[in-house]
Structure 1
Amino acid sequence: MKSNFLSHSNEYTLDEWLSYLESLHTSEIDLGLTRIGEVATRLSIDLSFAKVITVAGTNGKGTTCAFIEHTLLSKAKTVAVYSSPHIERFNERLRINQLDVSDQAIVNAFKKIEQARQDISLTYYEYTTLAAFLVLMIEQPEYIILEVGLGGRLDATNLIDADIAVITTVDLDHQAFLGNDRETIAKEKAGIIRANQLTVLGETSPANSVLAHANALKAKVIQRDSAFFVEVHSNNTWSWHNSNFRFDNLPVPNIPLDNVATAIAVICLLLSDITESELANNIKETKVAGRTELFKAKCHVMLDVGHNPLAARYLKHYIQTNAQAIRYTKIHAVAAMLADKDINSTLNELTGVIDQWYVASLSVSRGAKAEVLAQSLSLAKASVNCFDKVEDAYKMAVSQAQPTDLILVFGSFYTVASIRKLLL
């Protein structure tokens, strides 16, 4: 099959390649760097031409990457971001100077990998990560920002030695692969740290396993509330400072403030001439698809890819704050999740702010059935409607909502993707 596909590869579109990649490996997730490392060696993967920032964490990776990217671009730097998963198009996974790479660039990279891997089996994610590296070697941007897909130590992005390692937050998620407690999960994420290199920690109280690993490697740790500080003021502004920089009267961001604060710590390591007015402007401008993304349809519709208890707690706080400001009459939630997530804890974080639930099944291999979500909400005695499709759940929510209501769509990248295309 492999040789036949390769011999006709010039005829195949990107979508056909992606379908082929899905069939190559027995598991969707198969952590480890041995197989991909061998293929990377054969391809002579080398990103040493760029400054590499690798971002790991349970939540906040995408928004942290986006703010670093936006600020570097505002200073006329060339910047690439590799992230996953995508919301609508596969090409979103690699953008250079905020432009998604072309189908042809990805296909060309796939052909090289197919020739090099021979009998080595790669997962979809490993294959696509190598493709991103090959495209980057051609484009050679000054800065490369790598968002870790899962964990850190054994993630495909960890083939590359980071100049700056960033860990946003650590909480329970992906326990089947990373461990059942915060310290164990944190140790996996700390695997992106390199000896004697810079490490930015976005939490005020990082896990002990992260600190121990960083100390063992003699990494240069920049930790919140130790090396940089954040103050939130009552007049909807906030301040950030460290020993070299101070930025006051910063506006409230469109993305989580904690992630912006972490990103600023990275920016101050990269740019010596960043100003308060430049930062303030970038904070106003930076928005990320699917992260508390607000649309105005019949009523306000908010999309968020949050899919674990930590993300749900942030959503609850965000909605409560905005509900007071905008004065929503009712809040409707359209939710669909993957079966391997902590569905019960995630949904129940939000039961106090949601007036009406519309839960749906996800039609992917790992998708949870609507009835599973409904069962999780039953103890809270919430008002719940079940649907076979996310689109149907959303349409019912729209039909029930008033112009002064909010519809929250959340639970998975798949959930957001289903509705975002309708809103666009």
Structure 2
Amino acid sequence: MSKYNSSHYQDLTNLDQWLYYLENLHSTEIDLGLSRVGKVAERLAINLNFAKVITVAGTNGKGTTCAFIENALLNSKELASPRGVAVYSSPHIERFNERLRINKQDVEDQALINAFKRIEVAREDISLSYYEYTTLAALLVLMEAMPSFIILEVGLGGRLDATNIIDADIAVITTIDLDHQSFLGNDRESIGFEKAGIMRQEQDIVIGDTNAPKSVINHANELHKNQVNRIFLRDQDFIVQNTQPHWNWKTKQTQLTELKAPHIPRDNVATALMVLEKLNLTLTPDFVNEVIAKTKVAGRTELIKQKGLCDVILDVGHNPQATRYLAGYLKQIKEQANYQNIYAVVAMLGDKDISASLESLKDDIDFWYTGALSVPRAATKETMASKLALFTNSVNCFDNVDEAFRMANKQANSSDLILVFGSFFTVSKIRAQLTIS
């Protein structure tokens, strides 16, 4: 049942009021399932058949994979279209409007409000979660804009995620690891099964995990048992070769050499390239290197150079797989930039594997700063401090993550580096305080 009387929506005049209304509309924050959102989508006649649709699921790497595909399509003269390219993703870092961008422009408030009003009328007595409601709104906006390409980043899981009401042309699985276990299962096989739920028959499937769970491979094979050349698997159908300082990427029909190091994880670039080949985009080293240079994503190993102060890296990583990647990245960048000390500012949600996520970085961080986030699911400062104390004596604990960052920024020298990580909420809080050039 709704917490609010739905007639109240007529008094809502701006986006912030609408978002507050939606936050309090449903009984729970996360409520997986397609029955409710599917019924409302049917009433709204949701249909994206005018576009080529790519759906991207996985534990990590979804946002950067989507961004690389987006930039490649927008910079390709071969596939250039006046209708352009749209990306739907979540969560946002600073503004809700970031969740839907068309031709790199965030959606405007009024377009969202108009969509919300249509949904409010159509849903009648059906209660929708915040995410279901806002996903439907994005789909309505896309139906108005009619871009040529739509890239949908799956939220939580895949099989029961609201984006899965759409039948995509290409399904992408980035990586599978432990996260959201209370919803998806306690092992990679169970989580892989949920992610694989975005797959369809008569659809190309790209799997970027270098060690994909059997549940993913088996589901893909079952769907395509009477078809050939529809499943594209990392290290089998598309291969990455290390040739320091460059790297190569190849398939049966394409070979790219002397590719530059990307700003985002290379594995996600490799997966995106396979998607682009299946979209019949001609790939050359020059073109790919151009896209690599242009693809930077906020909050994903995002380097901020503060004037007169130390550098800051922002990363939304919040699970063990993500922090293992961060550990390798820090070793590389510390050597390249000759940073003296690395300060970590971290705050996480309480339902994450905090211990394993932090432990991945124990050999790379010199000084730890932590505090709480001001969201319901946040881990307390005491919890964060106790987890850190298991492997370090250098724990500085504050009431909130803002204070933790301010003190780290004050105590670090200009030759040091601050890593801010642990959650989208953490990065959002700190990024808003920095000058982004």
1:143 to 137, 149, 166: 149
Equivalence for 2:202: 196
Counterpart contact for 1:357–1:382, Cα < 8 Å = no
The alpha-carbon deviation at position 382 of structure 1 amounts to 3.3
Partner of 2:268: 259
SS in 2 for 1:121: coil
Deviation at 1:201?
A: 0.4
More deviation, 216-225/132-141: 216-225
Cα distance in 2, alignment partners of residues 357 and 334 from structure 1: 6
Q: Indicate yes or no: 2:240 matched with 1:233.
A: no
Which of 199, 212, 216 does residue 210 from structure 1 map onto?
A: 216
The alignment status of 1:4 with 2:15, answered yes or no, reads no
Structure 2: distance between partners of 1:311 and 1:364: 22
8 Å CA contact 1:351, 1:382 repeated in 2: no
> What is the TM-score normalised by the length of structure 2?
0.95
Task: After TM superposition, give the deviation of residue 379 of structure 1 in Å.
Answer: 1.7
Letter in 2 for 1:8: D
Aligned residue in 1 for 2:350: 339
The residue type equivalent to 2:403 in the other structure is D
SS of residue matched to 1:261:
helix
Q: Distance in 2 between matches of 1:59 and 1:7?
A: 39
Letter in 2 for 1:90: F
The C-alpha deviation readout for 1:10-59, integer Å capped at 9, x for no partner, is xx100000000011111000000000000000000000110100000000
**Is the contact between residue 362 and residue 392 of structure 2 (CA under 8 Å) also seen in structure 1?**
no
Structure 2, unaligned runs of 5 or more: none
Unmatched segments (≥5 aa) in structure 1: none
User: Are 1:221 and 2:222 counterparts?
Assistant: no
Structure 1 residue 233: deviation in Å?
Answer: 1.1
* Contact 1:82–1:95 (Cα < 8 Å) also in 2: yes
The corresponding residue for 1:91 is 97
Residue of structure 1 in register with 2:422 after alignment:
411
Report the RMSD for the aligned CA atoms in angstroms. Answer: 1.0
Match of 1:275 in 2: 284
Q: How many residues align?
A: 421
Q: Secondary structure at the match of 2:343?
A: strand
Of 214-223 and 41-50, more deviation after overlay is shown by 214-223
Aligned positions of 1:299-338 closer than 5 A: 299-338=310-349
Inter-CA distance 405–24: structure 2 relative to 1 (3 Å threshold): same
Inter-partner Cα distance in structure 2 for 1:7 and 1:371:
43
CA displacement, residues 316-346 of structure 1 (integer Å, 9 cap, x when unaligned) = 0000011111111100000000000000110
**Contact (CA 8 Å) 2:254, 2:283: kept in 1 or not?**
no
Spell out the pairing of 1:105-144 with structure 2 (5 A cutoff): 105-144=111-150
Contact kept? 1:153, 1:188, Cα under 8 Å: yes
Deviations 1:108-130 (A, max 9, x none): 00000000000000000000000
The 5 Å alignment of 1:23-42 reads 23-42=24-43
- Say if 2:249 and 2:256, in contact at 8 Å, map to a contact too: yes
Distance across 1 between alignment mates of 2:68 and 2:261: 14
Preserved contact between residue 6 and residue 115 of structure 1 (Cα < 8 Å): no
Does the aligned pair in 1 maintain the 2:9–2:18 contact within 8 Å? no
Q: Within 2, Cα distance between the matches of 1:15 and 1:402? A: 39
1:421 Cα offset (Å): 1.1
- Residue 262 of structure 2 aligns to a residue whose secondary structure is coil
Please say if residues 343 and 369 of structure 2, whose CA atoms lie closer than 8 Å, have aligned partners that are also in contact.
yes
The one-letter code matched in structure 1 to 2:239 is F
For 2:331, give the aligned amino acid. Answer: Q
State TM-score, norm by structure 1: 0.98
Would you say the 8 A contact 2:90–2:155 is kept in 1? yes
SS of corresponding position for 1:417: helix
Q: CA deviation at 1:377?
A: 1.4
Partners of 1:7 and 1:327 in 2: CA distance: 57
| Partner residue in 2 for 1:73 | 74
The amino acid across from 1:24 in the alignment is L
Runs of 4+ with >2 A deviation: 1-4, 6-9, 271-275
Which among 338, 351, 359 is matched to residue 348 of structure 1? 359
